[in-house]
Every structure is written in structure tokens, then in C-alpha cells.
Structure 1
């Protein structure tokens, strides 16, 4: 929790920006009518009457259709003539595209993006403050999620879904091998099973995981006490921390349990091996549930999801979290309707539509999550939620952080250099790129 707090502060600091492209906050919200009884903004007449459609950007068609249908159903009595149109725009592209389209008058009223894109969206005026909905959403969503999209006490995006890596385990196979379906809690326990179960010649491994990205390696490094961006300062990623040397040594020592070059640890190899029922453990995220559900049914096994393994005597492993958000365009001519739609995505009905159509986990508090149809009965979701409690929402770091970090863990995993040399290279390369 200490590490997650530091990351959240970094993101919050990054949000302390002044919009330079779109309307000011006062212009965006001063004339909106708030209904205190329903806790909703009153939608503009042109949208309410269906004269003009509300425009939204989604990345996935099935999600757009499900959310829009649920939105219209929710407001069918109050606004029966309201129309909503969508366009498919990738979340990675939405902020840049909105900066151009918004000013040209061709953008959407609401768009989906990633939370770490919000600082740029605030800076160029494309993400408007949510006004009265800030208080509503703070009651429904944890501060860990809301803080990273908040600037000057105003949320500028609605947290919609969250995801995190977790440990997934084949309960059927584990019971055959160990006599118990319970998963390992530490890497040492996994190493002990690997000593008996691994067969490199048959490509049989106790655990499969990607070893070519710092994103995937971080839970192990953090369990050994390394903290990324410890001072919430983009100038200091922590690559020079002595704790990282020991953490990289430990990471390199895990090569014995999955003796595969990093370039061969592709997601196809990792996921398909587990789906076939041949691998006791895999580290991945909720995006793999569909494949694993199919594999479990076809190959006659059951699987569970739990928190990531720790290190004996180490710290609680953290994982970088992801979060998808809905933002109101600062250029929208219908800011009330846009805010109503964005807020809806974090309502009970909106979250239910998101989960039912995509399987993505709504970014709601645990007590509200349990009321979403299907989630309470889904044991796999519970494991992701449990790990999310230890997850870290990374700040808007430079793209070269990932390049430098990936090279460091690959150098260590593939024995291209020792930990100290890989760490020194990371420090030098990051400083060089940061100085450009």
C-alpha cells in the first residue's frame, strides 16, 4: 500500500496542469443545471429531444452497443427520444485525436482512454472537470483510482474498469501433484514443485510467465523491496537503488524454474500451455479468462485465481495496474449530457453492462462490485480484485522507462550481463534519454 500511495501522488502531481487548449473549467460547468434529488445534471434540450445525438468514442463495438443500450434503458422514461451515436477509436489514440477533432468541432462528447493519458488531456483542454459528479464518484470508487484522475479537487475522468496481473493455478493438476488444490504463496514453494515436475525436454514447466518486460517482472522485484519512482519524481525511476541489485539477482535465479529465453516467453506459448491443462501455474490477467475457461472445459480441469506469489521474508508483491476511463471532452457543446453518460458508466446499471458485455472488472468499491450480476458468483474475478488491492497505478512516465526497464530484465534473465552491470546500463541509458 505504501508503494501504491507514492505512485498515486506522482500521477496526482502530473495532473496539476492548466488546460491550454479547450474552454476553462468555469466556462464548462458554470451554466449546468444540477438536480440535487436525482444527483444528475439536467441534459440539454437538443440532446434530450433527439434533435442532436450525443457522440461517444469506444474502442470495442460490443462494449459501445451494450453501454448505450443500458444508458437508453436507464433514462427511457425521462428522455425517451434521446439518441447516442458511437465511433470506434482506439484508447491509445483518443486523446491525441480529440485534441484535433475537438477544436475542429468533429470530436465526440465522451471518449474512452487510459488513466495515464489524462494529464495530457487536461493539459490540452480535452478532458473537462466532472463537476458535481466528483462527489458522487468518490463515494463509489476508491481513492486509489479517483486520485490519479483528480486535479485541484476535480475529477477529470470516470474510472470504468481495472485490471491487474494475478497468479492463476490449475487446481486439478495441483491436487494430483501435491495432494492439495491450494496454490503456492511464495516463489520458494513453486521452486520446490518445479524440482520434481519440470521436464525441459518435454517442454513441461511448473509455471509459465513473460520474462521480457519490466511490467511482468515488477511483482518479483517489488517483493524483494525495490520501489519504482520512490520519490514520485520522473527524474528518479529508482534504477540506482541498491535494493534493485538484490532483486535482479533473485529474478535471475528463477530461470531454473522456467528455463526459456525471454524472446520465447510469448503470450501464445504461455497461455496455450496453461489452457491445455499441462501447467500448474501461470501469471497473466483477466484478459485470459475466456481462453482458460474454454481450455478448462475441453481438457477437464478447474482453475483458480489468487494474489501473486511473494518471496519468503520479503514484501507484499505489487503489480502495475491498468485502468480504463471515460472522459468528457472539453470541447463538447453538450457538457451536461456528456457528464451524465460518463457518470453512468460507473453506476450499477452501467457497470453491469460493461461486465456482461466484456468481462472487464468495474472499478467500483468491493461492496458495490458484489452487487453486479455475475461477479459475486465468479471466483476468478475475486482473485483479480484481491491482487488489485496491492496494485500500483503507474504515473505518466516517459515511454523510454519501459524500453530501459525491459532491456534490464532481459539482460539479467538471458544472462547477457550480471545484475550490477544491467542496473548500471539502465541508469546510464535512462539519464541519457531523459536528458534529450
Structure 2
């Protein structure tokens, strides 16, 4: 059973998954930002090759001094410490509740004063800032261990430099995906298998759609670039192609063709962008009258309740592509654990950070918050409750083909949303919408 605490946290954070303004580092230069002392710190630690662990400092291993962690969620902190003490009963771990959005800035000041955490959690798009401010240490020998546990999409976004070293540990993942009503599809098509392309959805829409009664084959939020990107990417456009905040790619000819395709989807879901709200989409799919919806794991609770009340079964899979197109990418969110370069116990801190992404750490995460651990399916299959959850695999699969971008200025969402609304509601031509988006972005970027 899913934790009731998951939905609120996911819904709160999904809109700011990629926001990171005013930074200069990118994924390709993460490790290069770290100073020589930082790299030396990782290589000078004692590594137990048999145990695949760093050897903790005596003061921590014997419980003479506590290890300090910063975590936003108290249930998660308590669950992680309890699980960690099952393996390391002599180690004392203390926690402080620190908001993930504030952890990097707070560490830069508190850490210098000797009051910082040894390990802290933040959003993956804050890692460049953490490295710039000297508060993110490389994981050292744990790189190989961690890369064996999770998809390279996740490890890649926290890696960089000439040696590709990881400067954080991916902990959770989330992405939108395609939700489908198995029971309704079986009734309509004779098969409960979901569509793989928008063309397949369009074929069903020709028979199922009833605009007069507001009955649609698929529902999503067309006025948000957060949702529209899956279609635009499948049609061949890549946002921030060079991972450069100066260039979101709004003038890319590939975007023009993608937007033309996107505008054509209005025939499938002929609703003004302002009326296609998250609340309405959840209600309609929960009622069992919509074959497909695009949403995220924050909708699980509503859809579970709807399926039970109305007697249907639903599934979750990757977002639809386009015939002859690319796999649909999405924007994804990820929480990470970071070892502070200012810790007095760099070995023990790395042991704890690594533990957070172990099978036991992932189990504690899911049991306490219901969030999806950013680990491979073989580890997920061993987690009680999650292994029996038929819907998590679809989120994980879509997350693995998501675009995790190190930094996206906040004003990208404003200009991107306006772009999609202009096209969806036919307020301007695609060319005019692109020009407007590019001009607005450049103006805000120059402020």
C-alpha cells in the first residue's frame, strides 16, 4: 500500500523540478568545478574492496561522535536511520529537518561554521550550485557501486568532468507517464494493451470522442510545456540541445515541425488550454470514462480510489511516440543525497549516502513516504509493497528516457507555457509563437 504522504510532496515539487536560475555550471563540468582538495579527500579514504564500502572513521564507527544528516521529511529521516542502524548498530545518526530547496545555501554558511550536516538532500538541479559553492564531494569508489544499481540517465546527471565522477547519489525519481484504463480499452478495442503512438490514439478517438458530451479518448494539460514536451520531443525537438541556458532551442526548425504536429492533436482533445486543468483530468479519468490520461505518480491515490469505486483496472506505461518519430522524452524530477566537502567524517558520510540508494535504503524510502526509489527494477522487485505495485514500473521506464537537464531558468516555464497555449488555442501561427517565445526568453534571460 502506498504511503499517504507521497502525493502531497510530489504534487508540491513537480512544477519546479528543473528550476535553477542564474547558474553557470553544466553537467559536463560538474567534476571540474570541484577543487583539488575535494578530489584528494575521496582518494585518500580507506576502501574495503570485499565489503564494497569505505571504512568509517573510528569516532563514528564506535558511536563516539554522531553523523549528521539534513533531510526535509521527518518520517524518511527516522526510517533511514532505523534501517541504517540495522546494519551499523553502533553508529549514532542525528538528523535536522532542512528544506531541500534551501539546503545548498544553508550548507555553504552553516558548514563553514561547523554546524552543517555531513550528508544532505536537495534537488538534482541544485548540484551545480553545490559544487560551485564547494559543498558537494565526489562519491569516489562508490561510483561503480551506484552505477550498477541505477539507470545511467540518473547517474549521468550527477556526473561530469574528465573522469565522469559522481558528486551526488540519486535517491528518488518521478515523471509523467501514460495512464490507461485497461477495462475500458478491452471493452472498446478487444485488448487492454495501451497505444504506443499518437496515431493509434487518434484512430480510437475517431470512434470514441463525443465533443458534445465532453467525452474524449485522451486528456492531458496542453497549455503546459511540462506536458507538451513529450509530444515535441517525439516529433524531433530537444530542449536546451547544448545544455546551455542561453539557448533553449526555441528557434530550432525542428520545433516548428513539432509544434505543427502538436497543434493537430487539438482534434483529439478539443478543449481550450485554460479548461484542461489537472483537477478536471484527474476527475474524468478517476470516473472511468477516459481511456487515456497523461499524469504523474502524484495522481496514484485519486486513480486508485476511482478504480475501486467504479470497478476498473488501470495501467501505467511510457508516453506515446509518433509513427516514425523518437521515443517520447519528458521532464523528470529527482531528489539526491550529497556528501558535504566540509564534513569531518568523509568516509562515514559516503557510507550513509550510499546506503540511501541501497535495497534497504530504498525500502525505507518507499515505506515512509511512498516515493519511487531511483534504482533498477531488480532492486525495486525486492521492496515490500512496491514490488506488488503494478503502476510504478511505468513511471520508472518513462523516467529512464526522460531529459534530466542540469539547469533550466524559471522563466523557461513562463515562455514555454505561453508558446504551447498560443499554438494549442490557435492564437497565432507557429512561426509567430516561436518568435514571441524566443524574444520573451531572451529578454528575461538578459535581465
| TM-score normalised to structure 1 length | 0.89
Pairing partner for 2:375 from 364, 373, 394: 364
1:90 deviates by 2.5
* Counterparts of 1:107 and 1:412, CA distance in 2: 48
Q: Which of 323-332 and 24-33 deviates more? A: 24-33
Pairing partner for 2:111 from 102, 117, 130: 102
Q: How does 1:237-316 map to 2 (within 5 A)?
A: 237-316=248-327
* Counterparts of 1:25 and 1:39, CA distance in 2: 21
Task: Let me know the Cα RMSD of the aligned residues.
Answer: 2.3
Pairing partner for 1:218 from 225, 229, 242: 229
The aligned counterpart of 2:434 is 423
Residue 40 (structure 2) pairs with residue 64 (structure 1): no
Residue 391 of structure 1 aligns to a residue whose secondary structure is: coil
* Counterparts of 2:439 and 2:302, CA distance in 1: 41
Q: How does 1:31-430 map to 2 (within 5 A)?
A: 32-76=45-89, 79=90, 82-152=91-161, 153=163, 154-430=165-441
Where structure 2 has 5 or more consecutive residues not aligned to the other structure, the ranges are: 1-24
Residue 194 of structure 2 aligns to a residue whose secondary structure is: coil
Contact 2:30–2:167 (8 Å) recurs in 1: no
Contact 2:222–2:421 (8 Å) recurs in 1: yes
The aligned counterpart of 2:28 is 13
Contact 2:232–2:262 (8 Å) recurs in 1: yes
* Counterparts of 1:37 and 1:312, CA distance in 2: 49
1:157 deviates by 0.4
| TM-score normalised to structure 2 length | 0.87
For residues 400 and 14 of structure 1, do their structure 2 counterparts lie closer, same or farther at Cα, with a shift above 3 Å needed? farther
1:409 deviates by 0.8
Q: How many residues align?
A: 421
* Counterparts of 2:385 and 2:139, CA distance in 1: 29
* Counterparts of 2:322 and 2:61, CA distance in 1: 56
Contact 1:17–1:119 (8 Å) recurs in 2: no
* Counterparts of 1:202 and 1:338, CA distance in 2: 58
* Counterparts of 1:95 and 1:278, CA distance in 2: 45
Residue 15 of structure 1 aligns to a residue whose secondary structure is: helix
1:341 deviates by 0.8
Contact 2:154–2:400 (8 Å) recurs in 1: no
Encode CA deviations 1:50-70: one digit per residue, 9 max, x unaligned: 343322222222222222211
Residue 300 of structure 2 aligns to a residue whose secondary structure is: helix
1:248 deviates by 1.0
* Counterparts of 1:334 and 1:276, CA distance in 2: 53
Contact 1:17–1:123 (8 Å) recurs in 2: no
For residues 290 and 132 of structure 1, do their structure 2 counterparts lie closer, same or farther at Cα, with a shift above 3 Å needed? same
For residues 197 and 127 of structure 1, do their structure 2 counterparts lie closer, same or farther at Cα, with a shift above 3 Å needed? same
The aligned counterpart of 1:4 is none
* Counterparts of 2:222 and 2:95, CA distance in 1: 38
* Counterparts of 1:404 and 1:99, CA distance in 2: 32
1:170 deviates by 0.8
Q: Which of 110-119 and 362-371 deviates more? A: 362-371
The aligned counterpart of 2:10 is none
* Counterparts of 1:390 and 1:381, CA distance in 2: 15
* Counterparts of 2:346 and 2:246, CA distance in 1: 37
* Counterparts of 2:211 and 2:74, CA distance in 1: 42
Contact 1:158–1:326 (8 Å) recurs in 2: yes
* Counterparts of 1:14 and 1:272, CA distance in 2: 44
* Counterparts of 1:335 and 1:60, CA distance in 2: 23
The aligned counterpart of 2:6 is none
* Counterparts of 1:340 and 1:397, CA distance in 2: 31
* Counterparts of 2:31 and 2:347, CA distance in 1: 24
The aligned counterpart of 1:3 is none
Q: Which of 223-232 and 301-310 deviates more? A: 223-232
Q: Which of 165-174 and 283-292 deviates more? A: 283-292
Encode CA deviations 1:379-430: one digit per residue, 9 max, x unaligned: 2122223323322212312222222212211211222212111101112222
For residues 137 and 426 of structure 1, do their structure 2 counterparts lie closer, same or farther at Cα, with a shift above 3 Å needed? same
Residue 112 of structure 2 aligns to a residue whose secondary structure is: helix
Residue 167 of structure 1 aligns to a residue whose secondary structure is: strand
Contact 1:110–1:326 (8 Å) recurs in 2: yes
Residue 297 of structure 1 aligns to a residue whose secondary structure is: helix
Encode CA deviations 1:75-120: one digit per residue, 9 max, x unaligned: 22xx2xx222222323222222222222232222111112121111
* Counterparts of 1:94 and 1:200, CA distance in 2: 48
The aligned counterpart of 2:18 is none
